[in-house]
Structure 1
Amino acid sequence: MSGARRVLRWLAVRLAGAVFVLWSIATLIFFALRLVPGDPALAILGGPGSQASEEALALVRQEYGLDRPVSEQYLLAMGRLLVGDLGTSYSLRQDVLGLIAEQFWGTLLLTVLALATAWLLALGLATWATRGSRAGRAVASALEIVAAAVPHFWLASVLILLFSTTLGMLPPVSVPGPLGLVLPVVTLALPLAGFLAQVMRESLADALESPFALSARARGESETGVRLRHAVRHAALPAISLSGWAFGSLISGAVVVETVFARPGLGRSLLKAVTDRDIPLVTGIALVSALAFVLVTIATDALDRVADPRLRGS
């Protein structure tokens, strides 16, 4: 099979998988939200405090198709999604696609910066753990484990207490400009950095003892050269493979981080939409987040194939 046909087949398989994932998520959200106690019609009219009459509730159910059988509601919802119609937010009375477009770039910037920061921290920890003394390796390994296990909400609280309340160096909530991004990015990045560092440390240690590293040393290559030119590339392969998953975990972590730091974004909007039983907005945010995750996963797989020649023939 030619290289072009192999790439097209690989891409077709990934795109088919992406469509299946998006359909599965839309189906799961549709039925899960209908299992939540409460009347969607009441949520549309402003919640329990609106004191809506039965006549008003009946009219809303008819307008939104909530009086139809669940199977018919499902088919209508899937049909709208096929043409890119995410509907209108129940609570905000605005087009869902427009609302998501307003919040998406803030969350994307936060996650991309957090992923880049996590990579740099992980590489630093992995290098320290494989290059330092026995005590240094033990400290680096302990830091990796602790960082990976720290919950986002607890870490955010500690960082606010230390850098905002005590030292007064950074704002406790997200404000416009670079300073407003520092604490949210670090909060998202540290737990992921701990996990990636553990993976990279093992790969880096194996790479430094591999035949190509020994051959490079025999040719007179310095230890720094062996690490930078040979070992780091091989050590990064498992972390590259995990970057798609890492991006997804950062999107889910953004729900907590954006709420704690009062930062506008998809995560904070999703939490409010779930609280308000805003079915169109919940569905739209979940689907856009899933689509971003799928696209990043495909890009990560492609990068993995470029970095690892052994995968190019598969």
Structure 2
Amino acid sequence: MGHFLLRRVGQGVLVLWAAFTLSFLLLQVLPGDAVLIKFQNPDLGLSPAQIAEMRLAYGADTPLWQQYFHTLFAMLHGDFGFSIQAGVPVSEQLTSNLPDTLSLAVAGFALAVVLALLLATLANQRWLRPLSRWLHSVPALFISLPTFWLGIALIQLFSFQLRWVPVINPSPLQGLILPVLTVAVPISAPLAQILLRSIDEVQTLPFVAVARAKGASENRILWRHVMRNAFLPALTVAGLLLGELIAGALITETVFGLGGIGQLTQQAVNNQDVAVLQAVVMISALGFVLINLLVDVLMPLLDPRLHTLSGEAR
């Protein structure tokens, strides 16, 4: 297990380095830069010489390889740089905006798991067997819904038509209902697809027939024997869905006008604030790596067969 963790940590470090390098190069090839956008404004009345001094002060004209290593070593020490547009360290912006995005993402993921389990349970109930084919097609419908369209549709339905959830001056809890639902629905679709497929496969295994022959109820078989084994592939997919979850949270924050990393990213894109964009990319990549590392640690604990497989591999 120790060798496995070391190997996975090493792979995670390589992923973070690749994410940093690719994002750095892509952000550097953008036309213009944040210094020119902010200071090359006629209202400021700055001369070309003064603008050149500002570019020198911000290091915008230093060679690309120096900027690369300076930014890399700074991030290794927890320094994400300085936001030119906001005039504050990027770490301060992340500290003030990241909790809102995390609360939305965590609540959305929890609801997505509940929706996937509910759909899988309903699809395997005998009294709903005539609707089983329709229930199996629901995830395909969910996954095809664009996040921005779903958010607008939910606002139109629940706020303007039914008037159940206010969009003007809502309470903190009310302000999370529709955004969380917008994030959860697309994420629940692949989880439900994998779970439904795994349930169908596990139900054909001999131990399920043995449990049924012993007189166990269908619900007991489903939750005690089938779901426990079928959830393992869904757990792996759940870790891979982190990137989509973060992207959905960013779009949702923009649609609903919420504060968070989404709004911060939108402003940084408009102003080409490279330091902020680089920090957002690295925070997202770090979250992706940590979640997948956690899944890799949990899988052998939930499925003892993986211990044997890893031992044979060594």
Is this a same-fold pair by TM over 0.5? yes
- Counterpart of 2:285 in structure 1 is 290
- Counterpart of 2:87 in structure 1 is 93
- Counterpart of 1:71 in structure 2 is 65
8 Å Cα contact 2:120/2:196 also seen in 1: yes
In the alignment, does 2:187 pair up with 1:198?
Answer: no
- Counterpart of 1:4 in structure 2 is none
In the alignment, does 2:255 pair up with 1:242?
Answer: no
8 Å Cα contact 2:33/2:273 also seen in 1: no
Q: Secondary structure at the match of 2:78?
A: coil
Bigger drift between 51-60 and 68-77 goes to 51-60
Q: Secondary structure at the match of 1:312?
A: helix
Given candidates 34, 37, 56, the residue that maps to 1:43 is 37
Summarize the Cα distance change of 1:27–1:48 in structure 2 as closer, same or farther, 3 Å threshold: farther
Q: Deviation of residue 175 (structure 1)?
A: 4.3
Bigger drift between 60-69 and 133-142 goes to 133-142
Write the distance in 1 (CA, Å) between the matches of 2:169 and 2:195.
32
Given candidates 1, 5, 10, the residue that maps to 1:11 is 5
Write the distance in 2 (CA, Å) between the matches of 1:168 and 1:229.
41
Q: Residue type of the partner of 1:212? A: F
Write the distance in 2 (CA, Å) between the matches of 1:233 and 1:48.
65
Given candidates 114, 130, 141, the residue that maps to 1:135 is 130
Q: Deviation of residue 254 (structure 1)?
A: 1.1
Pairing of 1:68-217 with structure 2 (within 5 A): 68-132=62-126, 133-172=128-167, 175-217=170-212
Q: Residue type of the partner of 1:39? A: D
Write the distance in 2 (CA, Å) between the matches of 1:81 and 1:47.
31
Give the ranges of 4+ consecutive aligned residues of structure 1 lying more than 3 Å apart after TM superposition.
46-52, 132-135, 173-176
Write the distance in 1 (CA, Å) between the matches of 2:4 and 2:262.
32
8 Å Cα contact 2:34/2:85 also seen in 1: no
Write the distance in 1 (CA, Å) between the matches of 2:72 and 2:158.
47
Q: TM-score, normalised by structure 1?
A: 0.92
Q: Residue type of the partner of 1:21? A: V
Q: Identical aligned pairs, as a percentage?
A: 36
Quick one: higher RCO (CA 8 Å, sep 6+), 1 or 2? Answer: 2
Note the alpha carbon deviations across 1:78-104, whole angstroms, 9 max, x for none: 121222211111111111112101111
Summarize the Cα distance change of 1:114–1:47 in structure 2 as closer, same or farther, 3 Å threshold: farther
- Counterpart of 1:301 in structure 2 is 296
How many matched pairs? 308
Bigger drift between 297-306 and 159-168 goes to 297-306
Q: Deviation of residue 50 (structure 1)?
A: 5.2
